[in-house]
Structures are given as C-alpha cells and as structure tokens.
Amino acid sequence: MRSPTLLCGIALFVAACQPVTTGITPAPAIADILITNGRIVDGTGNPWYRGSVLISGDRIAYVGPSVPGLTAKRVIDVHDQVISPGFIDMLGHSENTILRGPHAVSKITQGITSEITGEVSSAWPNTSLGQPPNPRRPWHSLGGYFDYLENKGTAINLGTYVGTSSVRLAVMGQATRHPTSAEMKQMGALIDSAMRDGAVGLGTGLIYLPSTFFTTEELIELTKYVTPYKGGYAAHIRHEDNRLVDAVYETIRIAKESGTWAEIRHIKARTPELMREALRVIDSARAAGIDVTADQYPYTASATGLTAMLNTWVQEGGDDSLVVRLRDPAVRARLKSELGADSAAGIRTAAKTMISDVGADSLRKYEGLNLVEVGKMRNQDPYDAAFDILIADHGNTGAMYFSFDETALRMAMKEPWVSVGQDAGAMSPDSDGVFRERNHPRAFGTFPRILGRYVRQDSIISLEFAIRKMTSLAAQRVGLQDRGLLKVGMHADIAVFDPNTVIDNSTYQNPMQLASGVSYVLVNGVPVVDGGKVTAALPGKALRSAAYSRGRTR
C-alpha cells in the first residue's frame, strides 16, 4: 500500500494543487510531453518499474507511477518499452564532424544524447600561437567554439577535454623535442583558459604524434593545470600490447601526483590474463584512494590510421616526411623487420590489419580487405602493399586492427567503474540519404550492441547495470550534475527503446548501418528521434563544466 505522503505527492503533480511539505514541487497544469506506459530504468542501477515521465520545457517535471490524471500537450504511449536517461558517449570525435552534419544521425539513432570529445586533439586551440584562426574555424577560445556550436545548432549536447596534441601544436608545432620550461608554461596557460571556458579536463593520446613525445613527468605538470577546476586526465594510454599494465601504472601515477582523477580510454587487452592484471591494478589503486576509471566499446577490433602500424620514428615531421621515407628501400626494409618482430608477438600482423577507408578513389577496391588479401591482389608482400597505399593516399588511409580478446572485453564490461565510449565522431547522411564516409561499426552500433548482445542475448550484465554505465556513471565522471538520471529537475535527455529488439546492424564490411530498436530520443525535452524517425530538431547544448566562468577568455 502506498503511503499517504506519496499519494499526496502524486496528487500535487496531477492536479497542481497547493504545495504541502512533501519535498515535491508541483508540475505545471499542462506539461509539454508525457511519456507513459513504459518500463522506467532511471540510471541509478535500481530495478525497473512501470511508470511515466512528464516533461515541461527542457526539464523533467515528474517521474513515477502512471497515475490517472497525468497529462500533457502531447502524450506518447511507449507500450512497455524502456524509458531511460539519454546515453552519454564518453569518447567521441565530433567537434568538427558535427559542424558539417549537425543532426548526428549515427549517434541519436543509438539513443545518444550527449558526447564528450577531445581525446587527442580538441576544437581549441585551433591555430599556432600568434596566428589568426582558420576562417572555417573562426573561434578564438574554447568558449568561442561553444558559442559557435550553439549558434549553428546541433542534435546532441557536446562537452570536451582540451587535447594535449592541440596545445602542443599551438606552442611547438611539429617539433619532436621536449618542451622548454617556457613552452610548458605557455601550454599550461592554454589549458587553464580552456578549463575556465568549461573543458572537463586534459585529454591525450599517447600513441599519436606529437603527444607521444610527452614524458610522464611533463604530463603530470600539465595535468596540474586542470586540478584546481576539478578536471581530470583522460588518456589513450601509451601501450595496449603486452606492456598494457605498465601503461595503466603510468596513468595511475599521473592521477596521483597531479592530485586529480583519471579515465583510461577504451580499455582493452590482447589476452584475458593481461586484462585480469590491469583490472587488478586499477582496483588496487581505487582501494588506495586514487580515482581511476575507464570506458570501453564492445568490439575486439580497434580503428585508427594505417600509419599507427608504423613506429614513431618514420612518422615524425608529418605526412610529407612519411611519404618521402616510405619511398626509401632502406626504410622499408627496417620497417618490415620491426613489423615482423611484432607479428611474432601477435602485434600488428598483416592478417589482422584491415583497410577500412581511403582518401583516394583509386584505392577504394581495398576497403574491407586485410593486408594479406591486398598483397595478393597487388602481387606484393603485404607490408610493401601497405607502404605503397600510404604513399598513394598521402598517409590518409584508415585501418582496423583485429588484435583484442572477447573474453577480456567481457571482463571489463562487468566492472562497475567502466562506462561506454564509442571512439567515433557523429555522422549524418548526405541529402540523398547516403553515408559517404566509411567508419568502424562502433560509430553506428556501440550502445545498441551492448543492450542487444551483451544484455539480452548473452546475459553478461543486467539491463539496469548497463543503463547505469551509459548514463549516471558517465555523468558522474565528467561532472554533469543535471544529466544522466531520470529525476525531477534534470534536463530531459531521454531514450526510449524496445529491450526485445534493440540491436546493432553495422558490420566491419558494411559499417554504415543504423541500429534498430530505438524509437524515441529527446534532447533537452525536444524529440530528435520520433517514432523511429530522425527529426530536423537541433536542441543540443554545449556542456560546460562547473568551472565555466562566462566571458573571461573571449
């Protein structure tokens, strides 16, 4: 039997009667949207229950049992589908792609309402110190970028780290040396500016030039600039091979010595044993009071440039220098020797490296093929074929690396401190409805894949546990205090999906396939997916951290 207090609270919402001391604020007499007859999974991890969500403006006005009298200008009966907070993508790359395709179709059709970007580079700094911005990227600060984004309009909310590669390029260009003390201070000033404009922390990718040249000590010093703003350190760690645990220790050390939290990007391992040890090390650090967490995507293939298979020495100086070096027979011989040694250890093997996307039309016939297959087509050694493709494509070839273990993936997924990040930018089709750029299937299927395969089909984790990882855990990590839960007063970022049909449809060979089962997605109270159809609405906002101080760096 419900208590009199609860019944009175419900009556307040239904009838907008005079407030009493129940701690519940009355909803408007006529709200905007009522989502009813659904299974509420509120993001806390608590069990689902049947109920309704009432929305007024951009906020949630009521969450609870479906009671007589709840009404709104529009009523959506979801017929026992799940109503959850909108999903938060903890690792996106949409800072530029969303300006070209603001509807973010690949994201919203998964139920994603917010993204955190800035893994390696970021929207700002966007030019060298003392130089004017590119006319196509005309902002002068991170705050200026956020204003530009909101003025153009976007379907999702977007927050960002400030990227170490961006600050390094702004101060040092392509220099491969260590920064001077003066240059470290200049980079620190840029980081401080970004934090005051609302960045959530410092992001880095330690396998990518020029960030790979930073030492641990330099990263600690730069991370100290985000600590006063409660920002964190997020890293694509330095190693994901047999040195994985060493890279995890480095991340823990940076968090500890800079005095802030750390996020390990897309945690994965080549063997269950490596993952077990990495998880043990992180749990031990957490038990000792060091706030280290991680995110992941549910695929065993990673994706980045084909250049990532090459050691750093051949990439120094940019793509022009790379192409010149790859034409040198001595360089090619050295590279094949290094790649052969790595292949013996199961790393960067030709058979596990697939060409995913190319820049030159003449090379499109190789998309979806591994390097062994490409070599046979070209009557070449697989690595010589890769070098020649990189030359022809001026270093712009994308690749997928099938190097990681499914059991290890599932081990990480069970951890309560591992959230979800798809490691892909937002994509939208051209006017003819066609997606022109190939990508990893994670760009279209990450969140539905977890819900369909790992929750429904394989029962690796529960529905409530999965939703918590995708919502409140992510919001907590980056300090989004008004998103990630179905709770009165929170922003109305909401996903509705059928738990019996939700699934990814994208594959490695045909990745540009939208997911199934997501029927409604609301961003700040506005439907961007309505009855399974993408709308024209662009209600997204910039997600500025709590450190944001209006007008200080514009």
Q: Using H for helix, E for strand and C for coil, what is the string for 46-58?
A: CCCEEEEEEEECC
Closest CA to 352 of 342, 360, 337: 342
- One-letter amino acid for residue 331 of the chain: V
Q: CB–CB of 542/153 below 8 Å?
A: no
Strand partners, 295: 419
Closest listed residue to residue 382, CA positions, set 391, 390, 374: 374
In the chain, ranges of CATH 2.30.40.10 domains = 1-86+436-476+487-538
Compute how many other C-beta atoms are within 10 angstroms of the C-beta atom of residue 341.
11
Residues 500, 81: Cα–Cα separation, whole Å: 9
| CA gyration radius, the chain | 24
What separation in angstroms does the CA of 532 have from each of 158, 468, 520?
23, 23, 6
Cβ–Cβ under 8 Å, residues 38 and 519: no
The whole model's pTM is what? 0.92
* Three-class secondary structure of residue 166 per DSSP: helix
Structure-block tokens of residue 68 = 């007589």
Taking the C-alpha atoms of residue 40 and residue 325, their distance in angstroms, rounded to an integer, is 58
Distance in angstroms (rounded) separating the CA atoms of residues 116 and 201: 11
Phi and psi at 389, nearest 5°, equal: -65, -40
Instruction: Enumerate residue ranges in the chain where pLDDT < 50.
Output: 1-27, 550-554
The DSSP string of 431-467 is TTS---S---THHHHHHHHIIIIIIIIT-SS-HHHHH
Q: In the block, which residue shows the tokens 């893994």?
A: 119
Which DSSP string do the residues of 197-223 spell out, in sequence order?
Answer: TT--EEEEETTSTTGGG--HHHHHHHH
The whole-number pLDDT of residue 131 equals: 86
Token digits of residue 542: 């910039």
- Please give the Cα distance from 228 to 125 (Å, whole number): 20
pLDDT on residue 550: 44
Determine the length of the chain. Answer: 554
Q: Are the C-beta atoms of 296 and 409 separated by less than 8 Å? A: yes
Q: What pLDDT is recorded for position 135?
A: 85
Residue 333 is predicted with a pLDDT of 93
Q: Angle CA(27)–CA(30)–CA(33) in degrees, nearest 5?
A: 90
Q: Are 122 and 194 in contact (CB under 8 A)?
A: yes
Q: Residue 76 has which token pair?
A: 């959506």
pLDDT of residue 218: 98
DSSP helix/strand/coil, 547: coil
Q: Which residues pair with 263 in a beta bridge?
A: 234, 293
How many Å apart are CA 89 and CA 113, to the nearest integer?
Answer: 8
Please give the CATH topology (third level) of the domain spanning 1-86+436-476+487-538.
Urease, subunit C; domain 1 (2.30.40)
User: Cα–Cα distance between 162 and 234 in angstroms, integer?
Assistant: 10
Question: Which stretch of DSSP H or E encloses residue 84?
Answer: strand 82-85
Q: Return the pLDDT at 343.
A: 58
